[in-house]
């Protein structure tokens, strides 16, 4: 089947099968920053933004995403101009193996977009669906709080 959707601010028309999940279809179309970790929505590695909210792409059928707006890690920052959240993750040494990082950045962006000054509790709640076996979550939480503070200063 063909699905029409908006991915990273671009209208696309992609082929997919009814049984395929969004993770697979994104990856097949070159957006490999979205990772596979658990296939049950419980690890956050596959997180994307769907209409501005964090969604677990491993349990969203690609067909379900038709007509919606998807944002993947590839459209958040670049080598030349990383997003403040990405800067904070780098500066805070909040990245170890990095497999969870795209999902965490997505979660943080979805949070800060709606709530520019989240409490530590809110940050923890929004990262709680993101399994990270490397960092113990300490530095990622600090990075998101720092990014939010920095962005608040900017605006």
Q: Which of residues 80-119 bind other proteins (CB under 8 A)?
A: 82, 86-87, 89-102, 105, 107, 111
Nearer to other proteins, 6 or 28 (CB): 28
Are 16 and 25 in contact by the 8 Å Cβ rule? The answer is yes
Asked if 23 is part of the footprint of other proteins (rule: CB under 8 A), the reply reads no
Q: If residue 147 lies in a helix (H) or strand (E), which one and from where to where?
A: helix 138-154
* Size of site (CB under 8 A) for other proteins: 78
Q: Could you say which of 6, 77, 150, 151 contacts other proteins (CB under 8 A)?
A: 77
Nearer to other proteins, 110 or 149 (CB): 110
Site string for other proteins, 39-58 (x = CB under 8 A): xxxxxxx-x--x--xxxx--
> What residue spans of 4-137 are helical by DSSP H?
22-28, 84-91, 101-114, 120-127
Instruction: Tell me how far apart the alpha carbons of residues 147 and 155 are, in angstroms, rounded to a whole number.
Output: 12
């Amino acid at each position: 089947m063909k699905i029409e959707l908006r991915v990273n601010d671009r209208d696309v028309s992609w082929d997919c099968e009814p049984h395929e999940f969004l993770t697979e279809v994104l990856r097949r179309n070159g957006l490999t920053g979205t990772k596979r970790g658990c296939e049950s929505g419980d690890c956050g590695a596959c997180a994307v933004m769907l209409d501005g909210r964090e969604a677990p792409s491993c349990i969203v059928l690609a067909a379900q995403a038709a007509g919606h707006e998807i944002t993947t890690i590839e459209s958040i920052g670049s080598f030349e101009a990383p997003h403040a959240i990405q800067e904070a993750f780098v500066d805070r040494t909040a990245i170890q193996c990095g497999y969870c990082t795209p999902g965490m950045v997505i979660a943080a962006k979805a949070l800060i977009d709606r709530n520019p000054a989240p409490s530590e509790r809110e940050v923890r709640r929004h990262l709680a669906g993101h399994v990270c076996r490397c960092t113990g979550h300490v530095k990622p939480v600090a990075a998101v709080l720092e990014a939010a503070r920095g962005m608040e200063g900017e605006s």
